[in-house]
Amino acid sequence: MSSVETKRIALLIDCDNVSHNSIEGVLEELAKYGMVNIRHAHGNWSSPNLGGWTEKLHPFAIRPMQQFAFTKGKNATDSAMIIDAMDLLYSKNVDAFALMTSDSDFTPLVLRLLESGLPVYGFGEKKTPTPFVDACSQFIYTENLVREDEEKQAAEGPKRPQKRTRNDLRSDTSLVRLLRTAAAQTTDVDGWSHLSKVGDYIRNNSSFSAINYGYKTLGDLVRASELFEISMRHGGTAMFIKDARRPIAELAAALDKA
């Protein structure tokens, strides 16, 4: 199942390791991929530290999963969340998982879910270790999804990261390599690549998300980078891109004509 209407997503939240402030943005992001029919928030609900999460349970239809800390210094929430994920996996009632946590201990869980053929969308704070970020099908930093009321925004200014500039994007060698490789691997016979195929290639090979660079879509980021020529086709509904660098053979031909 791949359509937004039919894909069932299980969202599991590690409330001990991620802020409640971004939950609305997380759910809005997941709505692009399907219906979040399972929403489990794991934590010790007798702890005052989860007060912020308590206020989010009812408005967003999240089910609290109680886990007492039986031993001091041990995170029982992690084990309970892993067991929950495996129970859901074997129930075969979900088509994808979303893990909201900043804890790299869940990396083996991500790998196990991927082995079962299910995508895993990761959401965590910028302190999230790289192994967990890279393991996810797609990972978005929750700071980029925080919703603030207009009055607070006016008083303090928006806290979301500003869009990366053209120079910022082009100086990110990993990003440039990823985009150019994806375009090259999906090139049609005419030398152009359909952006949807480029996006599919990127999703299959990395945890990239344009949101982490301040852009809503891959297309917006590609336009801003100015790394590619752009052709809008099919009535302006389909974007095709081509590496703006001219191939050596093409340059040679141009010089011969000159």
Taking residues 173-188, what's their average pLDDT? Answer: 92
The reply to whether 13 and 140 lie within a common domain is yes
Average pLDDT over the chain, rounded to an integer: 85
Q: Based on the structure, what is the number of domains in the chain?
A: 2
What is the phi/psi pair of residue 144, to 5°?
Answer: -80, -5
How far apart, in whole angstroms, are the C-alpha atoms of residue 8 and residue 91?
12
The reply to whether 145 and 186 lie within a common domain is no
The reply to whether 56 and 115 lie within a common domain is yes
* Lowest-confidence region among 53-62, 120-129, 246-255: 246-255
The reply to whether 189 and 85 lie within a common domain is no
- CATH number assigned to the domain comprising residue 232: 3.30.420.610
Residue 142 lies in domain:
8-156
**pLDDT tens for each residue of 103-116:** 999 999 999 999 99
168 SS3 class: helix
**pLDDT tens for each residue of 185-240:** 999 988 899 999 999 898 888 888 899 998 989 999 999 999 999 999 988 889 99
The reply to whether 172 and 65 lie within a common domain is no
Going by the DSSP 8-state scheme, the letter that residue 92 receives in this structure is: T
Is the model's pLDDT at 151 over the cut of 90? no
The reply to whether 137 and 216 lie within a common domain is no
